[in-house]
Amino acid sequence: GQSLEQPSEVTAVEGAIVQINCTYQTSGFYGLSWYQQHDGGAPTFLSYNALDGLEETGRFSSFLSRSDSYGYLLLQELQMKDSASYFCAVTPGNMLTFGGGTRLMVKP
Amino acid sequence: DTAVSQTPKYLVTQMGNDKSIKCEQNLGHDTMYWYKQDSKKFLKIMFSYNNKELIINETVPNRFSPKSPDKAHLNLHINSLELGDSAVYFCASSQSRGIYEQYFGPGTRLTVT
């Protein structure tokens, strides 16, 4: 089976940098994805790491260490609109298995 | 222009009733999914279809029956609704099976009273 651990809640101020960690245990692994979900909205894809290292997309970066079964999402220059839940997900095969989500609250 | 659409957006019904949720995608994707998101925001896969063929059925009660008339549509029928079925149900699609980038519909909030 698969299990993913991520903090339930993180708070940061506007303009700051925040890191959301994710550790996983899975019987098969192809990569680690990140999704963003605003309250009342649908999950939207942010990033994917199949190989070790850092992937950067604008203000967001995602990191993966396969040997440590660990990854993180880094959000820079935080904006109020970044307040949302962030989910890591593993792809062991034909499907995505999601972590419990991290609620990010950005304060002025 | 909507990529993945679901109807209805809200569904309020009584225990024991039967209801359906419809999903359509216009992205030309081969694979579609149903997810359930509970009140604690856990997002769990229920079913996956690839080109109208069921490929994932994640220990979901038999009361839930998906149907895919073509690869652009995936409907979910629920019989004998129970209180515990109250959740948000999301439809999603991806270009093919096993793809990490999935496109989600707006969700259907089901409330069973």
pLDDT band at B98 (very low <50, low <70, confident <90, very high): low
Structure tokens at A10: 């993180």
Q: Is the pLDDT of residue A33 over 70?
A: yes
Of B90, B98, B104, the CB nearest to A94: B98
* Cβ–Cβ gap A101/B41 under 8 Å: yes
Angular region, A58: left φ>0, alpha ψ -120 to 50, beta rest: left
Q: CA angle, corner A35, sides to A34 and A41, nearest 5?
A: 170
User: Taking the CA atoms of chain B, what radius of gyration do you get in angstroms?
Assistant: 13
Query: What whole-number distance in Å separates Cα of residue B81 and Cα of residue B64?
Result: 9
pLDDT band at B56 (very low <50, low <70, confident <90, very high): confident
Any chain A CB within 8 A of the CB of B48?
A: yes
* Whether A71 contacts A32, CB under 8 Å: yes
Residues in chain A: 108
Query: What whole-number distance in Å separates Cα of residue B5 and Cα of residue B27?
Result: 11
Task: Write the CB contacts of B53 (distance below 8 Å, at least 6 apart in sequence).
Answer: none
Cβ neighbours, 10 Å, residue B45: 20
Q: Is the pLDDT of residue B96 over 70?
A: yes
Q: Is the pLDDT of residue A40 over 80?
A: yes
List the beta bridge partners of residue A4. Answer: A24
Of A42, A87, A94, the CB nearest to B105: A42
Which amino acid is located at B2 in the chain? T
Query: What whole-number distance in Å separates Cα of residue A83 and Cα of residue B55?
Result: 35
- Which of A60-64, A78-82, A100-104, B96-100 is predicted least confidently? B96-100
Strands B108-112 and B10-13: parallel
**Span B6-28, mean pLDDT?**
97
